[in-house]
A = this chain, B = another copy of it.
Amino acid sequence: MDILNKKYARQGIHGIVSLFTVEDSSIKVLLVKEHAGPYAGKWILTGGAIYNDEDIESGIRRELKEKISNNDFYMEQFGIYSNPTRTNIVRMVAITYVALVNNDKSLLIENTDDIKWFKLSELPDLGYDHNTILKDSIEYLKKIILKSNIVKVLLPEYFTMPQLTKIYSTLLNKTIDRRNFRKKFLSLNLIDEVNYSGVKKVGKPAKYYKFKDNIIEDKNIF
- Give chain A's interface residues, CB within 8 Å of chain B: 1, 3, 6-13, 49-57, 77, 80, 82-84, 89-93, 95
Asked if B56 and A80 sit within 8 Å, CB to CB, the answer is yes
Asked if B13 and A11 sit within 8 Å, CB to CB, the answer is yes
Nearest Cβ on chain B to A36's Cβ, whole angstroms:
10
Residue from B3, B57, B77, B91 in contact with A53 in the complex, judged by beta carbons closer than 8 Å:
B91
Taking CB atoms, residues of chain B closer than 8 Å to A82 are: 13, 50, 55-57, 95
User: 19 A-B Cβ contacts within 8 A?
Assistant: A1-B49, A1-B89, A3-B90, A6-B52, A7-B53, A10-B52, A11-B12, A11-B50, A11-B52, A13-B93, A50-B93, A52-B84, A53-B84, A54-B84, A55-B83, A55-B84, A56-B80, A57-B82, A93-B95
Nearest 7 pairs of A and B residues by beta carbon: A56-B82, A55-B82, A52-B91, A7-B51, A1-B49, A53-B84, A55-B83
